[in-house]
Chains A and B, each alone.
Chain A
Amino acid sequence: MAHAEAHADEHHYTATGIDNKKLAIWTFIGSECMFFASLIGVYLTYKGRDVSGPKPHAEWLDKAGVLQEQMLEIPLVTFGTALLLFSSFFVVLALNGAQRGNRKQLIGWLVATIFCGVFFVGMQVYEFSHFAHRGMGYTTNLFASTFYTLTGFHGTHVTLGLLWLISVLVVALRGKLPPEKALNLEMAALYWHFVDVVWIVIFPVVYLIR
């Protein structure tokens, strides 16, 4: 039916020319900014207001009266941060591959992105379990609660982003990500960039500012 075909094109019509899905991701990211702004605000409000140790940047006395080292271990996290930053670059290369139909470039860089993400999450899991081992439980003090909550929510976002990227990778491996569907990767990439940018704020707030 001629009419129906003419109308089918209208389903791609947008007033701005920007794809609906892409705009939706941008909108969602805008909203997420307020989510992390609130969490960071809570972290800063309670910074240094602990009733007792552990402390992020200074030595502290544990319950037995033994002097303990500061909690945060900056070198490892700096390395993780760098990897996360690189992954943002990698996913751009992967997207470029998808858009040009270069399957090798797409899959290679996507795998590299996912590898960096997995390393970052692994680093965080190591950090959390190490802290727990050193006696910092979730409810130990305000620093513990705010730290775990802020970085934990970020880690959850990284994990969700990874799930998304892996889903796209599976689709790409099955050869179902032709250039005209590169948008499906672009959306995941936008979200991935956002997750990185949030970490760029969290990292100095938590690890660098004393």
Chain B
Amino acid sequence: MATTAIDHAPAHTHEHTGLWSWITTVDHKRIGILYGATAFFFFLVGGLEALVIRLQLMGPNKTLVSPDTYNQLFTMHGTTMIFLGVMPLSAMFFNYLIPLQLGARDVAFPRLNAFSYWVFLLGGILINVSWFTGHAPNGGWFGYANLTTKQFSPGPNIDFWTVGLQVLGVASLAAAVNFFVTTVNLRAPGMKMMHMPMFVWMSFITQILLLLSFPIITVALILLMIDRTFGTSFFVPTGGGDPILWQHLFWLFGHPEVYILILPSFGIISEILPVFSRKPLFGYAAMVFSGAFIAFVGFGVWAHHMFATGMGPFADAFFSLATMIIAIPTGVKIFNWIGTIWGGKVDFKTPMLFAIGFIAMFIMGGLSGVMHASPPADLQQTDTYFIVAHFHYVLFGGAIFAISGGAYFWWPKMFGKMLDEGLGKLHFWLMLIAFNLTFFPMHILGLNGMPRRVYTYSAESNFELLNKLETIGALLLGFSFLVFLYNIIKTWRTPQPPVGADPWNAATLEWSIPSPPQHFNYPTLPQVHGRDALWELKARHGGPLPEPQRVAEDAVLMPNPSWKPLVAAIGVTVTLGGFIGGSHLWVHVAGVAILLYGIYAWAFEPAFPEHH
């Protein structure tokens, strides 16, 4: 079994350390940590952008930032939080947890995994470098044509955006192929699809959404880039192009993207709730199918973002009803989560607080979502702060609460140390209060006529009081993350007794191995017989399992480290980066040369050490 130690192996480890070992790593756990650290950094950058926005809107006619800077700020806030914050924070969990929860040694393609990370990092840097040129993207995260065509946005701002998102798309697609194959193929012996932990299920569905939706935005971005670079008319009305096509392509991607952002969080919550209620997840099959149903129908509701475009009554009715239907499986999930708690023995540890906070806030976001699923009501609500309130309840009240809870939950597994409970609870309560103070008043402001994406408002509008409250809330929200940061630093610096393999008495396989896990995760692949594999094991054992022993690091043959993925990632970024501010042939040529070298060097290097 997974927990049996190899007796002759001393508990010594000779893990490689140092910068080079991180650059060449193909270990899914290290790549997960890299994703987490990078995404958290970008998340803080996006948060700072939000704080400047909030300070500008603190009173009417404020001039803290210029109108153009404000437009850059809200564009980059949205772009950063979606593509560089929440998505890679989810990717941190995919990386770290999918192989562990499946009982696998690594992902199916470790070097491709490293490639995904490097492309993501370089894409994130590329898009943020624009700040230093003074030309950060300023067309909104949705980049509606024809405002974003060359005529109306002649600067390089939008180029950074189209190129940056294409680079990030490469990272997401490569990762999605990898996790798809990993989930289908690397399940431990005996683990059927319907035995997989719910986090893996929700992540798996997320990968399918990524695979099917990212190509669409890629096409849209390529066409916009070609328009801007070579003077075609895909989105230029004078040449016959139709800006509304952009909206269809964008939201065909954009709505599945919403579920790409939230489904992993559904998975995280579904792991935390059973452990701290001491009861299995209620309605496992219904949870799986509702997730799949949400994803499937999610491809048929994109035009509810476009009710104000005047699509005609039949299209409006169709997309309205399709959108309402999504509320049903979402409701099933919420009821099943409450059903999981019901009859349990609820332990209010920090991860559980965040999970409960998630449910409470997500209900709110879901219900306001139903309100603008109705086109007549949406004609008033769309493009107002009501929508801003809605999606922050879903993405912050939802995804960020879940990700924070997940961080507290899996921290001991990742680093072998517990985060401070007291500080964790302080973090939670501060965040809950500050979050509601920031975003609840936005509902009221939106219904009372405050539009989105405006850099200021008039004194006559009377929006000042609620905006002031929101700004205070936002500063407090920023402070709550300083508490989290302090918790991380304090935990890192303070010595602790070893946390053990299974500090929460948890249900899934990753808790059966030492914390942090060894490079190969499992000395022998675990044999699985059903859901909640570790609980089942403990039940059969009749109590807590003996603490697993570390074995020699060379007990299992693991893939070679490699720097080729980084080379290929540089090649991708340089090739596409040549499209910023026009097409620069030699940059493309250099990029393609680097890319080809990276790919061939990668293809012909041995994946595993050859001698043994």
Known: A11-B557, A49-B240, A139-B233. A31 touches B177 (CB 8 A): yes
Nearest-neighbour CB distance to chain B for A116, whole angstroms, equals 24
By a CB distance below 8 angstroms, the chain A residues around B184 are 15-16, 18, 23
Q: A51-B240, A149-B223 are in contact. Are A10 and B525 (CB under 8 A)?
A: yes
Residues of B contacting A15 with CB < 8 Å? 184-189, 191
The complex places the Cα of A84 from the Cα of B8 at a distance, in Å, of 60
Instruction: Please tell me if the beta carbons of B215 and A31 are within 8 angstroms of each other in the complex.
Output: yes
Which B residue sits closest to A15, measured CB to CB? B187
Encode contact with B along A99-134: 1 for CB under 8 Å, 0 otherwise: 000000000000000000000000000000000000
**B180 and A34 contact, CB distance less than 8 A:** no
Instruction: List chain A residues, Cβ under 8 A from B239.
Output: 51, 139, 141-142
> How far, in Å, is B296 (CB) from chain A's closest CB?
14
Determine whether the beta carbon of B557 is less than 8 Å from that of A7.
yes
Answer yes or no: A46 CB below 8 A from chain B CBs: yes
Docked CA distance A4–B523 (Å): 10
Known: A15-B187, A24-B181. A34 touches B240 (CB 8 A): no
Task: Please encode chain B, from 251 to 292, with 1 for each CB lying within 8 Å of some chain A CB and 0 for all others.
Answer: 010000000000000000000000000000000000000000
Asked if B608 lies at the interface with its beta carbon under 8 angstroms from chain A, I say: yes
Task: Please tell me which one of the listed residues B109, B173, B220 contacts residue A31 in the complex, with CB atoms under 8 A apart.
Answer: B173
Which of B191, B213, B230, B524 lies in contact with A34, CB distance below 8 A?
Answer: B213
Chain B facing A: main interface SS: helix
- List of B residues within 8 angstroms of A13 by Cβ: 186, 189, 525
Q: Which of B364-397 contact A (CB under 8 A)?
A: none
CB distance from B116 to the nearest CB of A (A): 13
* Chain B residues with CB below 8 A from A50, complex form: 240
Number of chain B interface residues as a range? 35 or more
B555 x A4 contact (CB < 8 A)? yes
B612 at the interface (CB under 8 A from A): yes
Point out the residues of chain B lying under 8 angstroms from A167, CB to CB: 603
Given known contacts A38-B219, A139-B233, A45 and B245 CB-to-CB distance under 8 angstroms? yes
| Inter-subunit contact A38/B108 (CB<8 Å) | no
**CB distance B215 to A145 under 8 Å?**
no
Taken together as a complex, chains A and B put the C-alpha atoms of A27 and B181 apart, in Å, by: 8
Do B216 and A38 touch across chains, with their CB atoms under 8 A apart?
yes
A7-B557, A20-B185, A23-B108 are known; give 15 further A-B pairs, CB within 8 A: A3-B555, A7-B524, A7-B556, A10-B105, A16-B184, A24-B177, A24-B181, A32-B215, A42-B234, A45-B242, A45-B245, A46-B240, A51-B239, A141-B239, A146-B234
Instruction: Please give the residue numbers on chain A whose beta carbons come within 8 Å of chain B beta carbons, in ascending order.
Output: 1, 3-5, 7-8, 10-11, 13-16, 18, 20, 23-24, 27-28, 30-35, 38-39, 42, 45-46, 49-51, 138-139, 141-142, 145-146, 149, 167
Question: What are 6 A-B pairs at a CB distance below 8 A?
Answer: A27-B177, A35-B218, A45-B245, A46-B240, A49-B240, A139-B233
